[in-house]
Amino acid sequence: MKELLPPAPTPAPLDANAIEHDLVRQIAAKDRRAFEALYRAYYRRLMRFLFRITRRADLVEEVLNDAMLVVWQKADSFHGDSRVSTWVFGIAYRKALKALERAGRSRVLVGEEELPTLAAPENEVEEIELQDWLSNGLDGLSPEQRMVVESVYYLGLSYNDIAEIAGCPIGTVKTRMFHARRRLKVLLPPLLVTRPKRGNEASTK
**Domain ranges for the chain:** 17-109, 119-205
Residue 15's SS3 state is coil
Cβ contacts of 81 within 8 Å, gap of 6 or more: none
- Give me the residues of the chain with pLDDT under 70, please: 1-14, 105-136, 189-205
Fold of domain 119-205? Arc Repressor Mutant, subunit A (1.10.10)
From the CB of residue 6, how many other CB atoms can be counted at a distance below 10 Å? 5
Q: What is the pLDDT at residue 115? A: 35
Compute CA distances 91 → 72, 115, 141, whole Å: 12, 22, 21
From the CB of residue 82, how many other CB atoms can be counted at a distance below 10 Å? 14
Q: What is the pLDDT at residue 135? A: 67
Closest CA to 173 of 154, 183, 182, 160: 160
Q: What is the pLDDT at residue 76? A: 94
Residue 122's SS3 state is coil
CATH C-level class of 17-109:
mainly alpha
